[in-house]
Structure 1
Amino acid sequence: MIDYLDHLVLTTSNKDTCIYFYTNVLGMTLETFGEGRKAFKFGGQKINLHIKGHEFEPKAHLPVPGSLDLCFITTKSLNEAIEHILKCNWEIESGPITRTGANFPIRSIYLRDPDLNLIEISEKLIS
């Protein structure tokens, strides 16, 4: 019945720093839609942005910053992604480490966004 994820919603406590992280550090495209709403586009998906205390309805029952654990597959090699993240002066918390992805083995690093959500950046391991 379900084919793929269209979008998810991220709640932030710091709009400007959040936009910097997802656009500059992760390279997503900032989109403005509706009545000035913001979203981060990547591939065929997007992350809609809600500001804590100013969420759009309907919303999650208890939307809070820092409650997500997301894994993204990079379009670059993981080494190139690491180099870019470090050039942006963003700390990598751990990795690289081998993990199991949704459809194939992956090699991953972990970092935190400005709201302390856990962000996993991964590359597909070729067997």
Structure 2
Amino acid sequence: MISHLDHLVLTCTDLDATKHFYTEVMGMRLETFGAGRIAFKFGNQKINLHQRGAEFEPKAHLPVPGALDLCFIASVPLDQVIAHLGSCDWPIVEGPVERTGATGKIRSVYVRDPDLNLIEISEMVG
């Protein structure tokens, strides 16, 4: 019945810090749409952004910053991701470690975004 994820909504406290992380550190494209809305595009998906206290309706029942745990598959080898994180002076919380993703084994590093959401960046293994 479900084919794929189109977008998810991230609630943040600091728009500028969040834009910096998702565009400069994560390499996503900034998109504006609608009446001043912001999204981060990657592949065929996007993350729509809400600022805490100024969320768009309808919204989650309890939209709070820092409650997400997201995993992204990198478009480059994980060693390049690690080097990029270092060049951005963005700390790795854990990894590289092997995990199990939706379609098989993955090798991952974990970072936190400005709202302390846990962000896993992975490459497929094998």
TM-score (normalised: structure 2): 0.99
Q: Indicate the SS of the match to 2:16.
A: helix
Map 1:1-127 onto structure 2 (within 5 A): 1-126=1-126
Tell me, in whole angstroms, the C-alpha distance in 1 between the residues paired with 2:111 and 2:97: 13
* Residues 25-81 of structure 1, C-alpha deviations (whole Å, 9 max, x = no match): 000000000001000000000000000000000000000000000000000100000
Give the partner amino acid of 1:94: E
Tell me, in whole angstroms, the C-alpha distance in 1 between the residues paired with 2:104 and 2:23: 27
Tell me, in whole angstroms, the C-alpha distance in 1 between the residues paired with 2:10 and 2:29: 15
Tell me, in whole angstroms, the C-alpha distance in 1 between the residues paired with 2:76 and 2:25: 13
Give the partner amino acid of 1:77: P
Give the partner amino acid of 2:102: A
Q: Percent identity?
A: 64
Query: How many residues are matched?
Result: 126
Q: Indicate the SS of the match to 2:10.
A: strand
Give the partner amino acid of 2:96: P
Tell me, in whole angstroms, the C-alpha distance in 2 between the residues paired with 1:85 and 1:55: 30
| Structure 2 gaps, min length 5 | none
Tell me, in whole angstroms, the C-alpha distance in 1 between the residues paired with 2:92 and 2:64: 23
Tell me, in whole angstroms, the C-alpha distance in 2 between the residues paired with 1:14 and 1:60: 19
Tell me, in whole angstroms, the C-alpha distance in 2 between the residues paired with 1:114 and 1:92: 13
Tell me, in whole angstroms, the C-alpha distance in 1 between the residues paired with 2:96 and 2:117: 18
| Structure 1 gaps, min length 5 | none
